[in-house]
Amino acid sequence: MNNEKLAGTQITKTIILFLIGSTMVIGTGVEAGRDMWISTLAATFLSLPVILIYCRIASLFPGKDLIEILELNFGKLIGRLLSIPFIWFAFHLAAIVLRNFGEFISTIALPETPKTVPMIIFAFICILAVKAGIETIGRCSQYFILLIAVEIIIVNMLNIPNMEIENLRPLMTLEASKYMQSIFTAFSFPFGETVIFLMLFSSVQKKNSVYKIFLSAIIIAGLIISFTTARNIMVLGPNTMEAMYFPSYSAISRVNIGNFLQRMEIVVTIAFLLAGFIKISVALLAATKGFARLFGFEDYAIWVVPIGLLMVNMSYLLYDDITEMFEWAQKIWPYYAFPFQVILPIGIWIALEVKRMLKEKKQQVEL
């Protein structure tokens, strides 16, 4: 399993599905109201400097994951201590996304069923995928992204009669602070979450450009999320959209062509679940591989089931209800995630660059 390798296209598609996974279900950047599609688009491009830092860290040590890089440069003790926050972040993210989809399934399809039931079933499938390895997840991403792309195109075309472009107007009427908060929220969820891929880049073929993989995935996913958000606003209207827990599902439920083509939300729900499966699997894989390396285990597979079960338990204990879940996502998550997504990576990047320059200077002196 430690020799698994992904092609550049596979990891790019995996990152795209990771980014749109829960974002298309619960939305992001709601502080901007009818302009949230603009703030999401802005967050896509304003996140690129931080993404470039992730790329730089990975490109300095091709074929190494973040924990290997930290151990190589700071020693085993300090390197492993620095890796603990990233392992925790990946594990916590997996539990959060699992709860997101548990609430989604429970709300829209199985209101009489305890939410733990769909969560356990979903987690079991993700555990099987992680045990199968990252190559399996990458191959799944290749097929899933085609299905989701077709779904997005068809559903949006069918929804055109329900779109009112007037719902997007007037533009940019809010205070600047609202847009800044919305952009900050959209950066933290989902773009900054890609930091956990630094823990998986040892599985990417060395010939692939980390910059090309990351940047293309971020831009494509950002455009998809922004367009989906604009569609939801045009179909539902800004006030209705803000009141909905799952705006994309509600917008798609409006499709009704001659009383023949309707109930399209069932098809779209499958697409949501496929993307969510990829996101949970990636986060669980990063947490499991990190945990195994932290304690010196060569094979992470033996830890997938226990850590997966802990993920299920934690996801259930995270919130009391769906209202608390959304309040956490909008008000607490951006600030909670900031150290993991920005402060720690920047600190590590600066330390690596300083160490590299000192090493080069030492070599020049010796010559």
**Cα–Cα distance for residue pair 96/201, rounded to 1 Å:** 23
Which pLDDT score, from 0 to 100, does residue 271 have?
Answer: 86
Q: What pLDDT score does 2 carry?
A: 56
Q: What is the pLDDT of residue 252?
A: 87
Residue 244 is predicted with a pLDDT of 86
Low-confidence ranges of the chain (pLDDT < 50): none
281-300 pLDDT per residue, tens? 999 999 999 999 999 888 89
> Position of tokens 């995630």?
337
Which pLDDT tens digit goes with each residue over 102-127? 999 998 888 888 889 999 999 999 99
Which of 159, 168, 194, 150 has the alpha carbon at shortest distance from 21? 194
Question: From CA 234, how far away is CA 228, in angstroms rounded?
Answer: 10
SS (H, E, C) the chain: CCCCCECHHHHHHHHHHHHHCCHHHHCCCHHHHHHHHHHHHHHHHHCHHHHHHHHHHHHHCCCCCHHHHHHHHHHHHHHHHHHHHHHHHHHHHHHHHHHHHHHHHHHHCCCCCCCHHHHHHHHHHHHHHHHHCHHHHHHHHHHHHHHHHHHHHHHHHHCHHHCCHHHHCCCCCCCHHHHHHHHHHHHHCCHHHHHHHHHCHHHECCCCCHHHHHHHHHHHHHHHHHHHHHHHHHHHCHHHHHHCCCHHHHHHCCCEECCCEECCHHHHHHHHHHHHHHHHHHHHHHHHHHHHHHCCCCCCHHHHHHHHHHHHHHHHHCCCCHHHHHHHHHHHHHHHHHHHHHHHHHHHHHHHHHHHHHHHHHHHHHC
Distances (CA, A) of 92 to 62, 245, 280, 288: 27, 22, 10, 12
With beta carbons less than 8 A apart as the criterion, state whether 51 and 215 touch.
yes
pLDDT score, position 260: 65
pTM of this prediction? Answer: 0.95
Q: 224: Cβ–Cβ under 8 A, 6 or more apart, which residues?
A: 16, 20, 24, 152
Share of the chain above pLDDT 70, in %: 97
Q: Which domains does the chain have, with CATH numbers?
A: 8-366 (1.20.1740.10)
**pLDDT at site 3:** 66
